[in-house]
Structure 1
């Protein structure tokens, strides 16, 4: 307990110290810069004022008058000609060599700052050019000691030191409170998370109460349960992926070896190359599905919604799939209201519908029916795909949208598939803002129902013409 309370105290202390330090440096810099800026503006204004006088009378008498005016002020003036020679100064002992090195550079008529680094230099300085017509005949340098700025910063530092001492006492009080009221439940949570970090998710925390600590305890408990489930799912997922990848690779390698090592007839070569191409396509499809799922998980899957004519959309799908259904002697019927449109990504929605119809094609036999119904009700669109195929058992039904889950445990090549199709369907439907449910009874057929609801704004999903 002491260790945890001490850590918490150190964290709070360091946090407050960092905040105070940041505030001090920020205010210090802001006040210093503001003060220096004001002084530089004032210096520049005085220099420009002297410049105006000297442009009217640039003689010894005026030069002496300007120097005399500044001799009693807190600022100093140095007047030089365009060659850098000093003509007049309010303080003869001033060394201005460092300030006139850049006189070969053009100085704006309104003047500029020569030295603004108050922290490292003893003076700040500005320069104003003295012009006669279009020619610069000299310069007015205004110089001010930075001692007053340093005195202001010293006073400010003392004030912040007092604030820091008070904050330190408050921090000690917080440490005492934390050690009494927060340490014990936090230690329990720490031990629970330590077990979780080692892969042991069988933690039990007290979740009674309605305060933030109870909420945190409930969250950690929920996290432990979820991680336990995720760990099991990941194990099964990796095992399934390994199986899915190994099968086509085994075929590809085996038949490639046969082609390489044996003298085969052209018929056998075409046969084996056909198998290699088939397995390569299967592997490519699996990788594409995995890539799509990865993009959906990362929210990097782009859904480009456009207004779709649903009657035309389903007519196109029917034209694509009818030959496959006719070949298996399965009756495909699509019923869609005319004039019904949907804001959706045509390619992704087609991927959803074709995937569901492909599943129906696989699990139906000759004489079965597949009926697709599209209708609009109460600002929503419902797409129903119903078949009279072999159906799905009650024990399999809750898991059919899980990745790599197969109703066919035999993983037969005839039924094929990677077990990722329905997972992608669900993610794509959700990406469109829709919902998908499934109803099925073994040997009585399966019904998939997709619902898209209107958004109530300019991006309404359902539009009736």
Structure 2
């Protein structure tokens, strides 16, 4: 009883057998009642036919002729006068007397049924009055043995029983096939989820059609791919974070030992202490970025929006970054319409542009130009950051917003950041209900496009 196919089969079997039993019972009762009614109608019609003959010739010869006719038939006739005295009969039987004695009321012209209890009584019976010149001169009683009716019903019962057994057998076979067909994809899905729980995400489920089972199979298939991706991403994340944490810690520990154990000149101590400070700062930034990403994952990151003058905001950004660009002999061009306002978090917005412009400066050659351009379209701000750097390979473009993903696999200290900058940028843009996309070509440059809502003039 633990298998779903067995449970479904039993439920379907009970329901269908219940419906079939009800239908069979209803049809059986209807057919039996209809057949008995036909027998009574035929018996009444036969009596009325004899009555019509007797009304034309109500004499002993006609009476005897009718009695003789019925003696060779399956039915019996009794003809009486108006006082219920026997004047003719197809068969002598004491059982007829009690029905005739019970007929104490005047029968209608069309006749009537005086006994229809075919289950318990030996006969079913009808009566038809004989009228001559408007006066009732006698009666025609018709009788039929109920054994023949019961025999007919018995044959009908046998047919119904045979049909019922065939129906039950076919129902059982169909339900077995149907329940297995319904539960087979569910069993395969259960096995697939069991494999997924053990870390095997290479599941493949057959297509079951465009129904709920098909949707479920598709969802499990997508879940397996997502879990596989998340597992790989988690492993890469742990490997990357261990590397990123180990590198500065190694520097800090190594140079601290040197400064502590060796009697170094003042200038060398300053040099090593500077490296320790640099690595400590790098480690602090990495931990802060990881903390921010953890907040994003837990939906606890808060954006403090306020109305800012966007052109003034970008002017301050340009003044802050321009010396670094000049030092690298690079040009920074900021284009923004005046008196443009936006509801945003200025600190987080600055973090977005610092990351993008720092990348543009880091991965571009001396003498190149970086453009930050802002356009207002409706209530949206369209912002592009374009550089003339070495670009991003097409195979790397789908992954550059992933955590710890770096196009430069060498992880050089000159170029390699923590690999979290663009992941944080993407989360910050989404936190502002915005959208960020990237377009790049190798040796030509890269363009980041950001759309932010809620711009006013």
TM-score, structure 1 as length reference: 0.60
Look up the match of 1:266: 266
Q: 1:178, 1:257 → 2: CA distance?
A: 76
Q: Is this contact kept in 2: 1:8–1:178, CA < 8 A?
A: no
Aligned to 1:373: 373
Report how far residue 397 of structure 1 moved: 2.0
1:46-78 CA distance string (max 9 Å, x none): xxxxxxxxxxxxxxxxxxxxxxxxxxxxxxxxx
8 Å Cα contact 2:383/2:451 also seen in 1: yes
SS at match of 1:338: coil
Q: What's the counterpart of residue 201 of structure 1?
A: 201
1:463 aligns with 2:456: yes
Q: Write out per-residue CA displacement over residues 367-425 of structure 1, whole angstroms, 9 at most, x where no aligned residue.
A: 11111111102332111111112222222222211111111111111114100000100
Q: Does 1:325 align with 2:325?
A: yes
For residue 180 of structure 1, report the CA deviation from its aligned partner: 5.8
Please give the alpha-carbon distance, in whole angstroms, between the structure 2 residues aligned to 1:263 and 1:298.
49
Residues 178 and 273 (structure 1 numbering): CA distance in 2 closer, same or farther, change over 3 Å? farther
1:24-423 aligned within 5 A: 182-423=182-423
Are 1:400 and 1:422, in contact at CA under 8 Å, matched by a contact in 2? Answer: yes
Structure 1 pair 209–251 and aligned structure 2 pair: CA distance change class (3 A):
same
For residues 178 and 261 of structure 1, do their structure 2 counterparts lie closer, same or farther at Cα, with a shift above 3 Å needed? farther
- Cα distance in 2 for residues equivalent to 1:373 and 1:187: 57
The Cα of 1:181 is off from its aligned counterpart by 6.6
Q: Quick one: distance in 1 between partners of 2:266 and 2:8?
A: 78
- Once the two structures are TM-superposed, the CA of residue 310 in structure 1 deviates from its matched residue by 0.7
Change (3 A) 1:7 1:359: farther
Shift of 1:351: 0.6
Q: 1:7/1:321 Cα in 2 relative to 1: closer, same or farther (>3 Å)? A: farther
Question: Following the alignment from structure 1 to structure 2, what is the Cα–Cα distance between the partners of residues 238 and 329?
Answer: 38
Change (3 A) 1:341 1:205: same
Alignment-derived partner of residue 424 in structure 1? 424
Contact 1:207 1:215 in 2 (8 A): no
- Which residue is equivalent to 1:451? 451
Distance 1:206 1:283, change over 3 A: same
- The answer to whether the Cα contact below 8 Å between 1:2 and 1:179 also exists between their aligned partners in 2 is no
Conserved? CA contact 2:382–2:449, under 8 Å: yes
**Structure 2 vs 1, CA of residues 7 and 310 (structure 1 numbering), >3 Å: closer, same or farther?**
farther
Is the CA contact (8 Å cut-off) linking 2:188 and 2:205 kept in structure 1?
A: yes
Write out per-residue CA displacement over residues 255-276 of structure 1, whole angstroms, 9 at most, x where no aligned residue. 1111121111111111111101
Query: 1:184 offset after TM fit, Å?
Result: 2.9
| Aligned counterparts of 2:416 and 2:190: Cα–Cα separation in 1 | 47
d(CA) in 1 for partners of 2:7 and 2:208? 26
Root-mean-square deviation (CA, aligned residues, Å) is 2.3
Residues 268, 290 of structure 1: CA spacing in aligned structure 2 closer, same or farther, 3 A cutoff?
A: same
Counterpart contact for 2:185–2:208, Cα < 8 Å: no
Structure 1 residues 384, 264: closer, same or farther in 2, change over 3 A? same
Post-superposition offset of 1:440: 1.4
For residues 424 and 452 of structure 2, what CA distance do their matches in structure 1 show?
A: 17
Contact 1:330 1:369 (8 Å CA) reproduced: yes
Distance 1:241 1:351 in 2: 21
Larger Rg: 2
Please give the alpha-carbon distance, in whole angstroms, between the structure 2 residues aligned to 1:280 and 1:429. Answer: 28
Q: 2:8 & 2:451 partners in 1: Cα distance?
A: 51
Deviations 1:409-464 (A, max 9, x none): 111111141000001001111111111111111121211111124xxxxxxx1212
Secondary structure of 2:3 counterpart: helix
Uncovered stretches (5+) of structure 1, i.e. residues with no partner:
10-174, 454-460
Tell me the distance in 2 between the aligned counterparts of 1:362 and 1:402.
Answer: 19
Query: 8 Å contact 2:337–2:375 — kept in the other structure?
Result: yes
Please report how far the alpha carbon of residue 206 of structure 1 lies from its aligned counterpart in structure 2 after TM superposition: 2.2
In 2: Cα distance, 1:199 partner to 1:190 partner: 14
* Equivalent pair of 2:304/2:344 in contact (CA under 8 Å): yes
